[in-house]
Structure 1
């Protein structure tokens, strides 16, 4: 038996040695693939460029001109973030299968319908000579930075791939990827609205899709009145759950959020206006943004622009140039429309205002890593690509339609998608002009021609002025038309007639209240609202909470605005707490042993903080009540290939009015009355939390709301993958409050700055500057962001210096 012990011991030792050698090899390869932070390299620049980094990796570029600065920024982006950039361009172009193989083919087929690589090639031809030079400089810098790495980024080792060179058009694809992120409903919202409108009486349709009378915070003080509950009976199709829904989550908060707000210089001690901006996006490793300061000489002056760049693009996206500071939130306007098509019997022609037109076919090839290529046929109209919304794929057979898409054989209605993203105004690099603007008026004048997904732009300047406008082109459309549902455009001229003139662009400059804010809710009313439309606004609760704090004070500094960004008070849930407590009758409490439940709801519901149990209970009660009441609505939409989460409205206003009136006909089956429904929601939500967490006492909000910020390839790496992720951490905050925070979604940065007073500013973001796990900057910012600790807006003292010198 001793030889068995010897063999076993030897095998253990051998496995340990192999593991140590493998780990050492991987570590060594990772180490030598690190960027060189302290060195001198020959580069395609006109004069020596200094690329400095502080102890957190904050980048400072000092160049003789903007083109050299663009080259250096591309160089740094590639060295720290090339894989992230590659994912952005491949996502927009529908080329993910080239990296990830056959598992990404379905996603590529869906993405290819937009033909964004084709649009990017067209956009490149429209650049001015100066913009083209800047973009080419950036592109050259990216490829030089990639080639300067000793080994490719580690992600390519895992995928058994080689990184492909950057092309100038790829920077446009990065912008298109943001279109998909920020305007990604792609007609699903208007299809869902169409299904609902066609399924119920018009008075109930208008009641359900109303704005909230309680949660409005437009910056022009406009109010949209409540729609009163119709006297007619509630539609039976919304009370009888004939078929259960699979995805019963109902529309609550907008998918993409952000806050930005500003105060006039008359309210600050230094006289400069102060801007605050926190953009809410999906959280991942590395973070979306990259902190950078660009310094260059122009017309015998030093230009300095500081803020956040987007790896893959040569511009500072939000920040300050010492004269103005600017920030964005998603406008949530209506930037696309769904057109109901009439196809010929053979399915190859469509009816237009000019008669029958042939469908246009485009043929593409999807490259698939480690597998054979796949051919794809795409059909489009002069309005846009042909799209289908197949119903209930889980139970009905599917068939190929004439456009080559899979669609339900019982519902082959074809649509065309008309989207700003397909037009020539969609992408450009006019954003760069903000870097040298000196007043809010100049920024407002530039905004209509900035080629980005339409954003609420808030600007503050050193003279104390503030302004709001829409950055991006706005379609010129008939104002008396139903833009929320699919329409037939074949019988009259196109409903889009170009874009509104820049002089018609909505704007508010220096409002009398000396404060501005936006938070993805309806921002303005009347004619301005009619131009922007409704793309699925968030409730105004978050914006109202910001507005009220701005109005409650008459003097502000940078720290004051940062505290508003961190506000996790549950103002919107206060009335839900009272409603919940009203249902906890003595008899109900005793029957179901709810004494501890009641205590927690009473004591800890006012904030979404990590120690609050009551907040968790109220939130889940509300969610469960919404889900139970509107399950038939979700089922109705699902059966026709739609989803309630895609509706252009929150169901909060409708259910609250129902709760006030408690009409018997509005209660969903099988519940006998509203008290029965509410008490069932209490018990069901409590039971679910106990199943998930073990008990009510273990349902602290921090345990429920843990940040899980992960690298996209972490799950593909056995044993060591979790090392790439940020630690799971309990987080304050939630939706419907300024501090938006979920497990994988939240404040992608927190910026507060007054132009000319940048030394007092704040700039914090999750994760860190680098995408390399051995870089000292991989996690450098994360602890500060987690704990709401401020970091300076400006870069710190130089710790590392890279010199890019002209080639001999």
Structure 2
């Protein structure tokens, strides 16, 4: 039964029935998107999209996920495989029952290939590619910074956290030590040209939190989740409600939430007993291994002596028919992903390459969990990219843990590339479930995560230092949760929609001070009213917010553009270009603030007279942005002009004329990357929900675009406007409008 927005309620007599029917609907509504996911993970996008996608395929194909999927399938239990096979059969029946192939294939002059069990495994691998690094870029950059800048300056510029951290256990990292005159190995090269200034990286990430029953107006726990991803038409998720009408006592199941087309299970939602959501954990699930050459150039050193690299030839083809052979080298520890600045080969040890990385069993168990405690225990068996699992149950209990298997390192901490040749460093299997941190029913009855560092001390050492997000989002959520002692679903939605620019408040004060000092400059004077009355929120009509945001960005670019110069110097041909790019880390805000407030004279970049000159240069860059991006009209330099929701169908990027038929309006939107309401032109909340298990009728749900991928569907882009406006809409599907019945043969 489908409601007016196309959200289905599926009723079946077995879990296999539900998997079959869900597969049927996925194929009818989303097959082209499913095809894209499997091709992305397999490194076969160019076969459909053409030669322009070959570079993407080359990067992915070295991981050989299609070949690795066979081991995943071989490890599946009978029950897993039965559900998967039912889903595959449903997909292919749904595809076959279409009157015509999805319209995208007509545009691309192609035909869809049937779905297979391997393709569902590839769908999960595609999420690994989206949520984790496939090349160890963070680790490689840390190592290069230490070599080029020296340990004190590298530690200061590339911190593991900041004073903004809002961990669940209250832990704090040591304050950054300002490098002294002797330790600072500062850049002796001028800042690069404008287009090559350092770009600050940011976590698009996700938010989730929960309050226990003692704080809930419903008695049950309340769980809020908004998973932030790249946005497209149609959306990555597909809503569904599954009802298992099993006649055996204790076997019934009713579960509502979001599914991932290509897979047969609910990803996040509520089953009436528990509700759960995910955020990307950014724990350390991979390591870059420096290979030590042996006397024979075809060998590398291992703990058991020299070994040859295994060479595999992968055939890459484009839609135009041209093919090439891509040689892939495999080591004992994983594929070769490049070389470092010394010309040594780098292997990649990544959990995504292991059979344990993917399974269906865990998610099928999670669907049936009845308590938060049981869900946390299941979380350690999930075969998905590593997530912060936040769960609450109908009795009011709440908890957090990190999902999936985690590496057990020995001899090193995983922060930077290392040689494993002598056997003193490496992995010895995975952590036991009881070694993975769990927080259950904290005394304050609140749990929150936002891609940040969640724990410290020994627990953090076990999880590893990954590419954690800046703590500002988590801190803002935490503070909002402690601002009240009673919550309902609407209160939670208001936190999801919080667009206050708390992180920028100190930068606004700095900019305003400098503008007032230079008020004799007419250009400075023109900015003062807007910066002074900036409003402190990332709302579309705010000029002041965009001015402060631009100013802060330019300051970070200036500092890291200067100090990363030694990291870029002397690079050999074919070396590790990724680690030497002028990129500022996610935690860059704190080091730059410290430099500009403590003003160490020995660390002023050589291109500037003093720190005031650097601040003036950032203001000049801001004025240049007004000229270039708003035609010099200050009133047009609004946050909404920069932060428009550019949610597009993949085809409209190559055939712009289709945008009128396929894409939702390109509207200004509130929010930013550093606050709960995460919003950027092509990324943001891929869904929002708030729900108390057992009280789903009062839950709230938002999703951009819509259920269908076809523009002639009666519910194409229906519901998108509620997501744009932040209007509270029901978590449960509405009244049935269409009904489809399948009879067994």
- How high is the TM-score relative to the length of structure 2? 0.96
CA distance in 1, matches of 2:563, 2:583: 12
Once the 2 structures are TM-superposed, how far is the Cα of residue 634 of structure 1 from its aligned partner?
A: 3.9
Q: 1:449 aligns with which of 355, 368, 381?
A: 381
CA distance in 2, matches of 1:770, 1:375: 37
SS of 1:805 mapped into structure 2: coil
Q: Does 1:460 align with 2:392?
A: yes
Q: 5 Å matches for 1:44-123? A: 52-123=1-72
CA distance in 1, matches of 2:134, 2:252: 43
Residue deviations 1:672-710 (CA, integer Å, cap 9, x gap) = 011111012112212212221121110111111101000
Once the 2 structures are TM-superposed, how far is the Cα of residue 175 of structure 1 from its aligned partner?
A: 0.5
Q: Does 1:497 align with 2:447?
A: no
CA distance in 2, matches of 1:592, 1:571: 29
Q: Is the 8 A contact 1:259 1:329 kept in 2?
A: yes
Once the 2 structures are TM-superposed, how far is the Cα of residue 244 of structure 1 from its aligned partner?
A: 4.9
Once the 2 structures are TM-superposed, how far is the Cα of residue 720 of structure 1 from its aligned partner?
A: 3.2
CA distance in 2, matches of 1:231, 1:493: 34
Residue deviations 1:490-539 (CA, integer Å, cap 9, x gap) = 01255100001111121000000100000011001111111111211111
SS of 1:783 mapped into structure 2: helix
CA distance in 1, matches of 2:452, 2:582: 16
Q: Is the 8 A contact 2:189 2:565 kept in 1?
A: no
SS of 1:79 mapped into structure 2: helix
Deviates more, 1:289-298 or 1:164-173: 289-298
Q: 5 Å matches for 1:332-481? A: 332-344=282-294, 347-389=297-339, 412-429=343-360, 430-478=362-410, 481=412
CA distance in 1, matches of 2:306, 2:93: 51
Q: 1:659 aligns with which of 596, 599, 605?
A: 596
Corresponding residue for 2:680? 742
Q: Does 1:584 align with 2:534?
A: no
Q: Does 1:628 align with 2:628?
A: no
Q: Is the 8 A contact 2:389 2:401 kept in 1?
A: yes
Q: 2:452 aligns with which of 518, 521, 542?
A: 521
Corresponding residue for 2:658? 720
Q: Does 1:686 align with 2:627?
A: no
CA distance in 2, matches of 1:352, 1:241: 42
Residue deviations 1:158-212 (CA, integer Å, cap 9, x gap) = 1111100000111110100000000025212211111111012212222222244
Q: Does 1:264 align with 2:212?
A: yes
Q: Is the 8 A contact 1:763 1:790 kept in 2?
A: yes
The 1:168–1:259 alpha-carbon spacing in structure 2 relative to 1, beyond 3 Å, is same
CA distance in 1, matches of 2:582, 2:378: 35
CA distance in 2, matches of 1:370, 1:626: 44
Q: Does 1:307 align with 2:237?
A: no
CA distance in 1, matches of 2:460, 2:583: 21
How many pairs does the alignment contain? 734
Q: Does 1:568 align with 2:506?
A: no
Corresponding residue for 1:249? 198
Residue deviations 1:28-83 (CA, integer Å, cap 9, x gap) = xxxxxxxxxxxxxxxxxxxxxxxx11001111100111100000000000000001
CA distance in 2, matches of 1:521, 1:340: 28
SS of 1:416 mapped into structure 2: strand
CA distance in 1, matches of 2:305, 2:743: 62
The 1:594–1:372 alpha-carbon spacing in structure 2 relative to 1, beyond 3 Å, is closer
The 1:174–1:663 alpha-carbon spacing in structure 2 relative to 1, beyond 3 Å, is same
CA distance in 2, matches of 1:222, 1:470: 17
Q: Is the 8 A contact 1:275 1:327 kept in 2?
A: yes
Q: Is the 8 A contact 1:361 1:379 kept in 2?
A: yes
Corresponding residue for 2:634? 696
Q: Give ranges in structure 2 of 5+ residues lacking alignment.
A: 572-576
CA distance in 2, matches of 1:217, 1:720: 44
Q: 1:134 aligns with which of 73, 83, 98?
A: 83
CA distance in 2, matches of 1:647, 1:184: 16
SS of 1:238 mapped into structure 2: coil
CA distance in 2, matches of 1:720, 1:203: 53
Corresponding residue for 2:236? 288
Q: Which has the larger radius of gyration?
A: 1
Corresponding residue for 1:42? none
Corresponding residue for 1:5? none
Residue deviations 1:746-793 (CA, integer Å, cap 9, x gap) = 111111000000001011110000000111222112100000011111
Corresponding residue for 1:611? 541
Corresponding residue for 1:222? 171
Once the 2 structures are TM-superposed, how far is the Cα of residue 374 of structure 1 from its aligned partner?
A: 2.1
Once the 2 structures are TM-superposed, how far is the Cα of residue 231 of structure 1 from its aligned partner?
A: 2.1
Q: 2:189 aligns with which of 225, 236, 240?
A: 240
Q: Is the 8 A contact 1:71 1:140 kept in 2?
A: yes
Q: 1:797 aligns with which of 721, 735, 744?
A: 735
Corresponding residue for 1:507? 438
CA distance in 2, matches of 1:77, 1:181: 21
Once the 2 structures are TM-superposed, how far is the Cα of residue 605 of structure 1 from its aligned partner?
A: 4.2
SS of 2:328 mapped into structure 1: strand
The 1:749–1:239 alpha-carbon spacing in structure 2 relative to 1, beyond 3 Å, is farther
Once the 2 structures are TM-superposed, how far is the Cα of residue 217 of structure 1 from its aligned partner?
A: 0.4
Q: 5 Å matches for 1:27-46? A: none
The 1:239–1:623 alpha-carbon spacing in structure 2 relative to 1, beyond 3 Å, is farther
CA distance in 1, matches of 2:257, 2:196: 40
Corresponding residue for 1:3? none
Q: Is the 8 A contact 2:207 2:451 kept in 1?
A: yes
The 1:182–1:650 alpha-carbon spacing in structure 2 relative to 1, beyond 3 Å, is same
The 1:647–1:242 alpha-carbon spacing in structure 2 relative to 1, beyond 3 Å, is closer
Residue deviations 1:205-225 (CA, integer Å, cap 9, x gap) = 222222444201001111112
Once the 2 structures are TM-superposed, how far is the Cα of residue 661 of structure 1 from its aligned partner?
A: 1.2
Corresponding residue for 2:574? none
Once the 2 structures are TM-superposed, how far is the Cα of residue 486 of structure 1 from its aligned partner?
A: 0.7
CA distance in 1, matches of 2:589, 2:165: 13
The 1:97–1:223 alpha-carbon spacing in structure 2 relative to 1, beyond 3 Å, is same
SS of 2:200 mapped into structure 1: coil
SS of 2:364 mapped into structure 1: helix
Q: Does 1:596 align with 2:544?
A: no
